Amino acid sequence: MPVLEQVLETFPDKVKVMFKNYPLLKTHKFAGKAALTAYAAHLQGKFWSVHDEFFKFHDQLSDEKIQEIVRALGLNEEQLEKDRNSPRVVDQVQKDLDEAYRIGVNSVPTVFVNGKRLRDRGFESFAAAIEKELKKNPAKK
DSSP letters of 96-139? HHHHHHHHT--SSS-EEETTEEES--SHHHHHHHHHHHHHH-GG
Given a cut of 70, whether residue 110 has pLDDT beyond it is: yes
For residue 42, pLDDT beyond 70: yes
Q: 124 exposed, middle or buried (CB, 10 Å; 0-12, 13-18, 19+)? A: exposed
| pLDDT at position 1 | 62
Mean of pLDDT values over 93-98: 95
Residue 97: its pLDDT value, please? Answer: 94
- In contact, 83 and 47? CB cutoff 8 Å: no
Left, alpha or beta for 74 (phi > 0: left; psi -120 to 50: alpha)? Answer: left
Question: 141 pLDDT exceeds 70?
Answer: no
pLDDT of 139 higher than 90: no
pLDDT over 70 percentage in the chain:
96
